[in-house]
């Protein structure tokens, strides 16, 4: 690939919340097996996919992630019985919320990956990186200051600079 093109290439930042018992172990296996996946995927290890609080996802986007990947044990294999079912319910709601905010649903992905599926970790990370690259960077901007008297929260310095979506993009614009 020519050097100028390489410089222009957008390398998506993806925050991956992986459950300790399955997907994180699979990511470890992928590393040990020398399978390649993009360095823009940053893994956060949690004990269970059910521990992924929706606020973690929103915070990841607010702090510059272009995509968020959640990985957990296959249905029926969760070490905490139903954590992955909880994750699946939250995922559906979060996707709707993101669409309402003008963020494409494809920027959030949920995958079941068992400890032996190192190859699947690499495939999903590569696929998602390409998908997000096609969408382009996520553009959030700080909320404009409101006219009039500041609220007590604003006066205390809270809530300033919270992101709003610059403009609807992709399917959200339709
Ligand atoms: S322990 Fe892996 S999803 Fe719950």
Ligand 1: which residues within 6 Å by Cβ? 19, 21-22, 48-50, 72-73, 78-80, 83-84
106 alpha carbon to ligand 1 midpoint, in Å? 22
* Placement of tokens 């097996």 in the chain: 33
- The 10s digit of each residue's pLDDT in 78-102 is 999 999 999 999 999 999 999 999 9
pTM, entire model: 0.80
Q: How far is the CA of 26 from the centre of ligand 1 (A)?
A: 13
C-alpha of residue 83 to centroid of ligand 1, in Å:
6
Of 36-40, 73-77, 88-92, 157-161, which range is least confident? 157-161
Cα dist. 110→6, 18, 35, 129, 159 in Å?
29, 10, 21, 14, 29
Atom of ligand 1 nearest to the CA of 84: 3
* 129-139 average pLDDT score: 95
- Using a pLDDT cut of 70, give the percent of the chain over it: 76
| Tokens, residue 92 | 């559906």
- pLDDT of 173 reads 43
Question: What is the pLDDT confidence band of residue 60, given thresholds at 50, 70 and 90?
Answer: very high
Q: Which atom of ligand 1 sits closest to the CA of residue 19?
A: 2
> What are the structural domains of the chain?
10-137 (3.40.50)
Q: How far apart are CA 28 and CA 101, in angstroms?
A: 34
């Amino acid at each position: 690939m020519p050097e100028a093109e390489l410089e222009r290439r957008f390398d998506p930042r993806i925050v991956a919340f992986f459950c300790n018992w399955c997907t994180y172990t699979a990511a470890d296996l992928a590393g040990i097996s020398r399978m390649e996946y993009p360095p823009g995927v940053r893994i956060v290890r949690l004990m269970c996919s059910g521990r992924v609080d929706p606020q973690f996802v929103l915070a990841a986007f607010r702090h510059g992630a272009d995509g968020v990947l959640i990985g957990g044990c296959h249905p029926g294999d969760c070490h905490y019985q139903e954590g992955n079912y909880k994750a699946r319910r939250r995922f559906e709601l979060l996707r709707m919320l993101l669409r309402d905010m003008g963020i494409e649903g494809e920027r959030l992905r949920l995958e079941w990956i068992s400890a032996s599926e190192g190859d699947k970790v690499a495939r999903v990370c590569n696929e998602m990186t390409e998908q997000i690259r096609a969408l382009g960077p996520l553009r959030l901007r700080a909320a404009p200051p409101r006219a009039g008297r500041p609220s007590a929260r604003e006066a205390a310095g809270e809530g300033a600079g919270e992101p709003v979506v610059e403009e609807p993009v992709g399917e959200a614009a339709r």
